[in-house]
Amino acid sequence: MYELFKSFLGADNVLVSEPMSKHTSFKIGGPADLFLMPETHGQLRQILTVAKEQNIPLFVMGNGSNLLVGDKGIRGAVVSLYKKMNKIVVDGEKLYAGCGALMSTVASAALSAELEGFEFASGIPGTIGGGIYMNAGAYGFELKDIVESVDYMDSEGNISQISGSDCKFGYRKSIFAEKGYIVLGCIFELKKGNKEQIRERINDFTQRRVTKQPVEKPSAGSVFKRPEGYFAGALIEGEGLKGFSIGGAQVSEKHAGFIINKGDATAKDVLDLVEHIQKTVYEKNGVKLETEIKFVGEF
């Protein structure tokens, strides 16, 4: 498999037995059999073709900010779109961002172009691809509010474009998650604004995030989706679980909706803690907490 992928990706873009702890914000995860880093849409299409022909399982990821990878790692190949497909182009009030671009970088580009509307996403620690895939949001805003169109690749390697209104965006869901499409890039429809006011809004959102969230510790962001009529963090805190630990995994003392890696957490520690939280909250409140983070690989 290695030689096959190396033949069109180059040796530098094919890593063997790569520790996934290097590629997740949790800093947790065993080795991926192969870690592939395509630089073009053509290379990505070739990966899909080879994987289908050779029956190789594929997992496509961005910068790993929303993942818990099992301690035994991932069988098959991981395809990383982060860093390589990260082009950003501004054209009037429209901004194109490749799937591998970080949302913080896109926010900076919008600021430089004096475009408003992307400020809320400036502190979301993910890529455009992952953000579109799950319709990321913060502070009452969601990416669906500003998406004009999305370029994507299906499992056959065909590239298509879809309008934002047809993306079936909902709370942490989209047509891309539903169909297993790979997001390649997105055009955002923004508006001309006052640069200083845009900067102030970004600073405000950043300050709120830093003050209320454990950004100084490895985590995967909010662990649970918001249950209808409740806030996950409030339910967890209400059961006295703030600061509760299993192994190296701990419910953040800053925000109970986050689980942090104290430094030596395993994936099993995090998984056990997630299940303990779900069980406790359900028994006491009758509310089923659904995870927002993705669990990948062998645990």
Active site residues: 172, 222, 292
Tokens standing for residue 286: 């009758």
Asked whether the CA dihedral 257, 262, 267, 271 is positive or negative, the reply is negative
In the 3-class helix/strand/coil scheme, how is the chain assigned residue by residue?
Answer: CHHHHHHHHCHHHEEEEEEHHHCCCCCCCCEEEEEECCCCHHHHHHHHHHHHHHCCCEEEECCCCCEEECCCEEEEEEEECCCCCCCEEEECCEEEEECCCEHHHHHHHHHHCCEECCHHHCCCCCEHHHHHHCCCEECCEEHHHCEEEEEEECCCCCEEEEEHHHCCCECCECHHHHHCCEEEEEEEECEECCHHHHHHHHHHHHHHHHHHCCCCCCEEEECECCCCCCCHHHHHHHCCCCCCEECCEEECCCCCCEEEECCCCCHHHHHHHHHHHHHHHHHHHCCCCCECCEEECEC
Of 118, 104, 141, 254, the C-alpha closest to 187 is 118
